[in-house]
Structure 1
Amino acid sequence: MTRPLVALGASDPFAVLRGLEAALAGGPALLPVAEDAPALPTPAPASVPQRVALVVETSGSTGTGKRVALSSEALLAGAAAADAALGGPGGWVLALPTHYIAGLNVLTRSITAGTSPVVVPPGHFDADAFADAADRLVTGPAAPRRYTSLVPVQLARVLDDARASRALAAFDAVLVGGQATPAPLRQRALDAGVRVVTTYGASETSGGCVYDGVPFGTVRAEVVDGELFLAGPMLAEGYLDDDGRTASAFTERDGLRWYRTGDAAQVRDGLVRVLGRLDDVVISGGEKVPLGQVERLVRELPGQDTAVVSRRASGEWGEVPVVVTARPLDLEVVRAHVGAALGRAARPAAVVVVAELPMLPTGKPDRRAIQVMAGS
């Protein structure tokens, strides 16, 4: 059995909200699309299997395009477990695009709570506009809590604005995800009274399913050969019309269906610590250097919480790490800081200062564009 798949422009979040509400109720499946984004090489099908309620297109910051197929059951299970982890349903301020899973999660949780989200105007994120949206958020007895979801660069902009920072401190939880949250930025938020919850997940897991390092609900996390595997009721059906990629990313182990995240991680005492992408490694002078770990160390330095570490070809070493940042950074300072933790091979070979780091609509760094800036 199948049902129609309806593509809907994401520039109108309330139209996406209505489409998602219908899809969750058994109507046509929804495919939110960004009108200004390049289309994937193959057109979306006119219909999808009956179990599929939502299709999320994602190209990631480095990978190839794919369409993640999610069931109503997965989306609702993720929303229910998230509400339980946060303390109950509430009203949401929507500050993220609704063609990505984090923004769609805000809509799903608003639907299940019976509330209507307050929308920050799409486009360039503005702290003052966020504060205005927070002022408009009204909660009620059935969903009394106040929530929002941001990416780290949005959090930093809010904290730079006194009014917006005060507004953010009035929320019961501020989810921060999409990429690793630098420790100094998180501490800065906590010092401002903001109840930050760092999240980890993917479109394939219906969004964030690990809060502050703890898998919520019935989610399970294991590390197999250094790679993080996740299991639980929130997993996607797979990739639309791509059986090969589905079979590679989703696997059966111990009677459970698992998603292979592609991320290196450690799980100790029930806490998940993600170390970076398994394939985001350079071989420098014969040694493996994980760029994600180098980037985390760079972001610990003052003013560098948005810096990105990329790669550059080297005739002498093969490849070397390079820091790309919008704020000046002394090369010897960063080399000493990184080298003390990860060794000589991990020390960045250069710092490239740019006027502005290119970003994806999700607020994540555009790593392909940044790699060009790094000189690879």
Structure 2
Amino acid sequence: MSTPDLAALVGGMRRALDGGPPVAPLPRLTAQAPPSGTALVVRTSGSTGTPREVALTAEALRAAAAATRERLGAAGRWVLTLPPTHVAGMQVIVRSLLAGTPLTVAGPGPFRAEALAELLADPLAGDDPVHLSLVPTQLHRVVEAADGGAPAALEALARCGAVLLGGAATPPRLLARARDAGVPVVRTYGMSETAGGCVYDGLPLRGVRVRVDAPGGHPGVVELGGPVLATGYLGDDEAGAAAFSEGPDGRWFRTSDLGVVDDGVLRVLGRADDVVVTGGVNVAPTAVETVLGELLGAEVCVVGVPHDEWGQELVAVLSDAVGGDGEATELARVRSAVAARLGPAAAPRRLLRVADLPLRGPGKVDRAAVVDLVRARSARD
């Protein structure tokens, strides 16, 4: 991101929050004018297909920022390490503007742990608590650097007031490693349609409502309500009508995620449309990824690919610089661990290693691209 472009974006966002014209960090996809009161037009990540444009009011953005400030206990000084083209990065800008504290911005180029340590030095020298948002891939690189003998970034994160972690599921081993190092990680859940993260560590922020469309204790599609909701989609009224609904208990947004609510705490199980049917059994890839993350300590994406016998075959793809396919002994260990936790049908039948998992948006694994990768590997073998 260039400083002049970012400066213009920050200035435009300041004016939009006070009733000025809306800001669109990326070129518009449609010619439809945003509804009155819109402050931000941001794209979804496109993880369900074609990206959509979401219209967010100043009231929704302010409500989300105020609820975050309340949950964290202080306005703090914000550090921007995410692209401002997505809602998570834009919310860092909004929070900083409303807090009235300086915004520190990462320089151009790929994320590097050593650069993060340098970036945090000045904010941490002040009196305000320092907050930032990361995606799991960034935290993984910080931990990896520390384990490789360069702990400066991890030590800097441990001195922050809060490290919001979202955009994708976090491997349990990575979360435990960071927290053991003293990093104040707060897992966030939300999306463009909810003005960013609106559920922190499973608990909704002030004013946010959570429910699932299933009886108590059973998995169902997650629905979110409250003042943080977007007005809707621009140029796609049909999708908006399917996702947003108005009822006697207020307005709701129907996500594409499966989850359960236990004693008011939301646990997200993965995308409803990611379920793989193998041998006639439904398997949630995210559940398998959780087991493998604990077992292997690597970033994992589990996908289903067509198979003559099973209908779909489960393949676990690991992000590992070593490269090459997993050895038979490791696959046997993986299958045994998953079968013991989730049943035999959930045990991957193949294990592949790649240098990096393909991403879509800020830290989201591109499952479609992973499937293409698996197919390309199979064609070569």
TM-score by length of 1: 0.91
Corresponding residue SS for 2:333: helix
Q: Which of 99, 104, 108 is the matching residue for 1:122?
A: 108
Distance 1:50 1:253 in 2: 23
Q: How many angstroms does 1:347 deviate by? A: 1.0
Q: How many angstroms does 1:292 deviate by? A: 1.7
Paired residues of 1:178 and 1:364 also in contact (CA < 8 A): yes
The answer to whether 1:133 aligns with 2:126 is: no
Q: How many angstroms does 1:368 deviate by? A: 2.0
Structure 1 stretch displaced more, 249-258 or 72-81: 249-258
Number of residue pairs matched by the alignment: 359
Percent same amino acid at aligned positions?
46
Aligned to 1:345: 345
Q: How many angstroms does 1:358 deviate by? A: 1.9
Q: How many angstroms does 1:14 deviate by? A: 2.7
Q: How many angstroms does 1:362 deviate by? A: 1.0
CA gap of 1:121–1:249, structure 2 versus 1, over 3 A, is: same
The answer to whether 1:232 aligns with 2:229 is: no
Q: Which of 77, 94, 103 is the matching residue for 2:63?
A: 77
Aligned to 1:18: 11
Q: How many angstroms does 1:156 deviate by? A: 1.4
Residues 96-111 of structure 1: matches in 2 within 5 Å? 96-111=82-97
Aligned to 1:5: none
Post-superposition CA distance 1:241-280 (Å, at most 9, x none): 2211111001123421011111110001111000011111
CA gap of 1:307–1:11, structure 2 versus 1, over 3 A, is: farther
Distance 2:2 2:50 in 1: 21
Distance 1:139 1:15 in 2: 27
Distance 1:273 1:151 in 2: 18
CA gap of 1:194–1:138, structure 2 versus 1, over 3 A, is: closer
Query: What letter corresponds to residue 93 of structure 1 in structure 2?
Result: V
Q: How many angstroms does 1:20 deviate by? A: 1.1
Aligned to 2:379: none
TM-score by length of 2: 0.89
Distance 1:221 1:309 in 2: 27
Residues 184-263 of structure 1: matches in 2 within 5 Å? 184-225=173-214, 226-263=220-257
Distance 1:9 1:222 in 2: 41
Distance 1:86 1:80 in 2: 10
Aligned to 1:372: 372
Corresponding residue SS for 1:372: helix
Distance 2:108 2:307 in 1: 41
CA RMSD of aligned residues (A): 2.0
Query: What letter corresponds to residue 215 of structure 1 in structure 2?
Result: P
CA gap of 1:298–1:12, structure 2 versus 1, over 3 A, is: farther
Paired residues of 1:282 and 1:319 also in contact (CA < 8 A): yes
Q: Which of 311, 319, 329 is the matching residue for 2:312?
A: 319
Aligned to 2:355: 355
Paired residues of 2:124 and 2:160 also in contact (CA < 8 A): no
The answer to whether 1:277 aligns with 2:261 is: no
Q: How many angstroms does 1:116 deviate by? A: 2.4
Residues 53-64 of structure 1: matches in 2 within 5 Å? 53-64=39-50
Aligned to 1:3: none
Distance 2:10 2:295 in 1: 40
CA gap of 1:11–1:298, structure 2 versus 1, over 3 A, is: farther
Paired residues of 2:222 and 2:254 also in contact (CA < 8 A): yes
Post-superposition CA distance 1:138-177 (Å, at most 9, x none): 6877xx2210110011011122230111111110110000
Aligned to 2:170: 181
Query: What letter corresponds to residue 131 of structure 1 in structure 2?
Result: A
Distance 2:2 2:104 in 1: 19
Runs (5+) with no aligned partner, structure 1: 1-7, 34-38
CA gap of 1:268–1:133, structure 2 versus 1, over 3 A, is: same
Q: Which of 140, 144, 149 is the matching residue for 2:133?
A: 149
Q: Which of the two has greater helix per residue?
A: 2
Q: How many angstroms does 1:32 deviate by? A: 0.5
Q: Which of the two has greater strand per residue?
A: 1
Distance 1:179 1:94 in 2: 18
Distance 2:63 2:157 in 1: 27
Runs (5+) with no aligned partner, structure 2: 215-219, 377-381
Corresponding residue SS for 2:358: coil
Structure 1 stretch displaced more, 199-208 or 347-356: 347-356
Corresponding residue SS for 1:45: coil
